[in-house]
Structure 1
Amino acid sequence: MTSAVRIGVGGPVGSGKTRLVESLLPLLAGVGLEVAVITNDLVTDEDARRVRASGLIDPARVRAVETGACPHTAIREDPSANQAVAEELETAVPGLDVLLVESGGDNLAATFTGELVDYWIFVIDTAGGDDVPRKRGLGLLQADLLVVNKIDLAPHVGADLDRMHADTAAARPDRPTVFTDLASGRGLAELFDLLVREARLPAAAAR
């Protein structure tokens, strides 16, 4: 059995991680890929329930991991719970191509271990402050792809998008960053094209 490509989605609370997962589901399905989702949170399955209720994926393909501790522990220090659920899904879904692993909301230090995912995305948002890129948290620095979300809110929260563009480029000179408004879909096509190409998804052959 060939393992699915595992893609991590991390970032602070409210940045748009679940929205990103929901945005990717129809795009991945649209190029014929079989997809499943794992959500992580402290003591709740709220994100998993939201994805199941979205109508975007068979609810049986969505599983929740309740970490019971700091959420990024289960995606970095001890990913065994996520690995076990990933293996269950790969058995339960014949021909599974892509597994999206969403981290619980956490601080800027959250990172995914390579033992769990093949590629990972870190999501921040303009409402969190335009100084976030200058803080250079490990998640922002090390992610394969950085997403700066909620660019539509920048004028309302006093965030300087030009400054954020410059600061993310300085912090990640060799890694891509995409600026998005996932609520409207702005920037999503660019994000998906990057994901298909850089994560080497089977969709690359279908596009």
Structure 2
Amino acid sequence: MPENTAAHRSLRLGVAGPVGTGKSSLIATICRALAEEIRLGVITNDIYTDEDARFLRSAGVLDPARIRAVETGACPHTAIRDDVTANLAAVEQLEADFDPLDVVLVESGGDNLTATFSPALVDAQLFVLDVAGGGDVARKGGPGIGRADLLVVNKVDIAPHVGVDVEQMVADATAAREGRDVLAVSRHREDTVSELRAWVLAVLAAHTDGRHVPQDPGPMAPHVHADGEEHGHPHAHPHEHAPSR
């Protein structure tokens, strides 16, 4: 188990992506794969509920006390990028309560293709797409797809049922990311889970050794909220987010 010193506090790993791409189930998969090997904690984000935290607790993947919820009260990206105070406080409290932790997974509420974490909150981040969203979605780009530390193409086991060519989708994603890491994942396929496990452990090792440098994928695309609050060039962007699975 990696040493966790004051100089090398837990790796904070963000998990972002649109509604329904399987962020919560991916976190559950990571926890199942690694809970007996490293010390884990989870922070979930929902707007007005703790739905994702309750899902993970009921899945039995960790001690329920290690899974905590942040109710953002606003669009998901606000709490992971614009004002990370609530999430940062939750992470630090979890680390204090269960010191030492090796990895804290921070799940964003479901947002759009532009959502990214602030490097003030997480050390590395993965962005989750799924085949049910369409084989062309990876080509649409954006900072999450293009520059997150890892892009996950999720639920590849259902690709034949939704008419998606996984190899082509992964190729498109790799091109959009200029060769950065892409993994095709199904929680039902042990080979893909092993690849995901290996990626997390490699980033943790780099973090522990001081070799990992957090990268900022860049700000979200400018937009305007439905209430008229401006965030750059205007286009209506009402957020209606359901919990992801």
> Cα offset for 1:90?
1.0
Amino acid at match of 2:64: P
Paired residue type of 2:165: D
TM value normalised by structure 1 = 0.92
The two structures, once aligned, show a CA RMSD in angstroms of 1.8
Are 2:180 and 1:175 equivalent residues in the alignment?
A: yes
Q: Name the aligned partner's letter for residue 16 of structure 1.
A: G
2:48 counterpart SS class: coil
Aligned partners of 2:17 and 2:129 also within 8 Å: yes
1:36 counterpart residue number: 41
TM-score normalized by the length of structure 2: 0.78
C-alpha displacement of 1:126: 0.5
Residue identity matched to 2:24: T
Task: Tell me which residue corresponds to 1:134.
Answer: 139
Aligned to 1:20: 26
Aligned residues: 203
Gaps of 5+ in 2: 210-245
Map 1:29-178; keep pairs closer than 5 Å: 29-31=35-37, 33-178=38-183
Mapped to 2, the partners of 1:134 and 1:148 lie a distance apart of 12
| Contact kept? 1:23, 1:182, Cα under 8 Å | yes
Query: What 5-or-longer segments of structure 1 have no aligned partner?
Result: none
- Secondary structure of residue in 2 paired with 1:107: coil
Deviation at 1:173, TM superposition (A): 2.2
Structure 1 counterpart of 2:26, one-letter code: L
State percent identity of aligned pairs: 51
Q: Is the 8 A contact 1:36 1:100 kept in 2?
A: yes
Q: Secondary structure at the match of 2:15?
A: strand
On the 8 A contact 2:32/2:61 being kept in 1, the answer is: yes
CA distances 1:115-145 after superposition (whole Å, capped 9, x unpaired)? 0001111110000011111100221111100
Q: Which has the higher helix share?
A: 1
- Bigger Rg, which one: 2
